Amino acid sequence: MTRGILIAAALMLAGVATAETVSELHENELNAIDKNNDGFLSRDEFNAFSDYAFQEMDEDKNGTLGLDEAKPFLDIKQFQNVDRNNDNSISRAEYDAQMSDDFNAADKNGNGQLD
Ligand SMILES: [Ca+2]
Ligand SMILES: [Ca+2]
Ligand SMILES: [Ca+2]
């Protein structure tokens, strides 16, 4: 799967950054993401994982990701890409917009599933 900025960050968070494809994920990791175990990541599954990753990264639970919270997962360039209005925090809307772009970029054949 082609990794977008936040997909890579979310996988890193989940400890699965080394797997290149969904099928390379270990069983436990895959179970956590691929809820119906069909070896593909549907948009619903992706959204659930994306939501989980946001909650995990948002340590102070204020609904936005500050630079400190994102730093373990994103470098400054990546952070600035996601922070579209340049206010030095990633809002949930900015996060979701980037995740959606990442999904579309990764879903090369446009079937709504990542493999
Ligand atoms: Ca699935
Ligand atoms: Ca926060
Ligand atoms: Ca922002």
111: in domain: no
pLDDT higher than threshold 90 for residue 68: yes
| Domains of the chain: total | 1
pLDDT at residue 24 in the model: 59
113: in domain: no
pLDDT at residue 90 in the model: 98
**Angle at Cα 51 formed by Cα 113 and Cα 80, nearest 5°?**
95
In this structure, which residues have their CB less than 5 angstroms from ion ligand 1?
34, 36, 38, 40
115: in domain: no
pLDDT tens digits along 90-106:
999 999 999 999 999 98
The ligand minimizing its distance to the Cα of 63 is 2
Q: Average pLDDT in the 50-56 region?
A: 93
- Band (pLDDT 50/70/90 cuts) for residue 12 is confident
95: in domain: yes
| 23 Cα–ligand 1 center, Å | 11
- Band (pLDDT 50/70/90 cuts) for residue 29 is low
User: 7 CB contacts (<8 Å, ≥6 apart)?
Assistant: 1, 99, 102, 103, 106
The ligand minimizing its distance to the Cα of 90 is 3
In this structure, which residues have their CB less than 5 angstroms from ion ligand 3?
83, 85, 87
Distance CA 19, CA 40 (A): 14
Q: Residue 66: give the domain boundaries.
A: 2-106
The helix, strand and coil proportions of the chain, stated in percent and rounded to the nearest 5, come to: 50, 10, 40
pLDDT at residue 10 in the model: 85
114: in domain: no
112: in domain: no
CATH number of domain containing 14: 1.10.238
